[in-house]
Structure 1
Amino acid sequence: MSARPQTTTSVLQQQRQSVRQHIRLLRQQMPVALQTAASNQLVQQVLSQTELMRQQHFALYLAHDAELATAPLITALWQAGKQVYLPVLHPFCSGYLLFLRYEPSTPLRLNRFGIAEPQLNCTSVQPVATLDVIFTPLVAFDQTGNRLGMGGGFYDRTLSQLNPFPARQQPQIIGLAYACQQVTQLPAAAWDQPLNSVITPQQYWQFPHR
């Protein structure tokens, strides 16, 4: 009996997983000194963006799996008087995120993926549509603003809630990444939510489609 032909979806998933494995390995092999320097350069890149720094409500994330460290950027935003929010796995809507206010005294816990997040407090929840900037983690991005995550779809589902709103009323969706996470073209899926911009330690990329 001949093997069953692969579907387009399964081929796409294999391509995406191949990119994930390659880029994650590059990230994990980066020397600690370079990681530290990159996270500090990221702060300068963000602070130098005048229009961006006019915003007030910034969602970030705590780095995991050798992602570009965000702790220095969070501290810099606090020092600039900005409000910072972190993602929390939604307790009732599986596969979605909530964003909670994050301050230096906010207690953290590890979620089921081993990622630190604020303890759930309904009074600290900020509706996603009222955020000004959402800095997202990513595994890879391409020159047209496509984003590839870890595969769980949490950000794509959560950001899809913004689609009914006019673009001018939506938060800016900005990926944070090392330069080595850029690829020429990602194998994009229909559910992918594109980025407005990507900031690396060396460059600020802006994409016109959002």
Structure 2
Amino acid sequence: MLDRQSLREMARRHRQALSPSQQQQAAMQLKARFMQHPKVQDADTLALYLAMDGELSTQPCIQWCWEMGKQVCLPVLHPVHAGHLLFLAYEPDTPMQHNRFGIPEPRLDSRLVVPLDKIALIFTPLVAFDRQGNRLGMGGGFYDRTLSQWHQHQQGPYPIGLAHDCQRVEQIPAEAWDVPLPEVLTPSHHWLWQP
């Protein structure tokens, strides 16, 4: 079994190798699954992310949410609590900036902060996932910390991973702090491990 860093590097290479047309097609296939998901249809407020580094684009899903009158939130690095995320409301005209990782995020404005208990679903980026729902992120632990209450007590936003099909691996060596996902959506499949 490959170690976590080797799996991370391999999965990143696979998604970065996708052509722009493959990325565009994958994003539209994801949107079709996303729109039909019962939890998405029922949710008023959803947290998504802006893709980078070959991640599956969420832009068509975000656009659809806006058209449906759903509130979209994006993650922002917490300015005080290192390693934690805040979620800010995101609209087409939201002022954006790049965080220290080069990821675009809404400019911090306390009026736009959406508390976790107001978010129905949180769509998480990931580098790789396995057949048991284990998720491998970029290594910062931001989403594991954000989802710890859901993992321990089933409280807070319901998490769903988003990934390209090529990011599924046989097995990820899990760590104690990892939060397994109940669901992952890929362009061609809906992986479900918990009802």
| TM superposition score category, shorter chain reference | over 0.9
- Residue matched to 1:9: none
- The one-letter code sitting in structure 2 at the alignment partner of 1:150 is M
- Residue matched to 1:205: 191
Q: Percent identity?
A: 51
Identify the match of residue 46 of structure 1 among 34, 42, 60.
34
SS of equivalent residue, structure 1 residue 25: helix
SS of equivalent residue, structure 2 residue 38: coil
C-alpha displacement of 1:80 = 1.2
SS of equivalent residue, structure 2 residue 55: coil
- Residue matched to 1:182: 168
Give deviations 1:144-202, integer Å, cap 9, x for gaps: 1110000011111121144564x2x4321000000110112111111001112100011
SS of equivalent residue, structure 1 residue 78: helix
SS of equivalent residue, structure 1 residue 191: coil
SS of equivalent residue, structure 1 residue 129: helix
- Residue matched to 2:132: 144
SS of equivalent residue, structure 1 residue 198: strand
Moved over 2 A (4+): 161-165
SS of equivalent residue, structure 1 residue 157: helix
Structure 1 residue ranges without an equivalent (≥5): 1-11
Q: Give me the whole-angstrom Cα distance separating, in 2, the residues matched to 1:46 and 1:118.
A: 23
Q: TM-score, normalized by length of structure 2?
A: 0.95
- Residue matched to 1:192: 178
C-alpha displacement of 1:50 = 2.8
- Residue matched to 2:48: 60
- Residue matched to 1:103: 91
C-alpha displacement of 1:129 = 2.8
Q: Give me the whole-angstrom Cα distance separating, in 2, the residues matched to 1:163 and 1:197.
A: 13
Distance 1:188 1:157, change over 3 A: same
- Residue matched to 1:134: 122
Higher Cα radius of gyration = 1
Identify the match of residue 112 of structure 2 among 114, 124, 132.
124
Q: Give me the whole-angstrom Cα distance separating, in 1, the residues matched to 2:17 and 2:151.
A: 37
1:86 corresponds to 2:64 = no
Give deviations 1:111-167, integer Å, cap 9, x for gaps: 0000000000111111123210000000000111110000011111121144564x2
Q: Quote the RMSD (CA, aligned, Å).
A: 1.6
C-alpha displacement of 1:48 = 1.3
Contact 1:129 1:162 in 2 (8 A): no
Contact 2:149 2:156 in 1 (8 A): no
- Residue matched to 1:172: 158
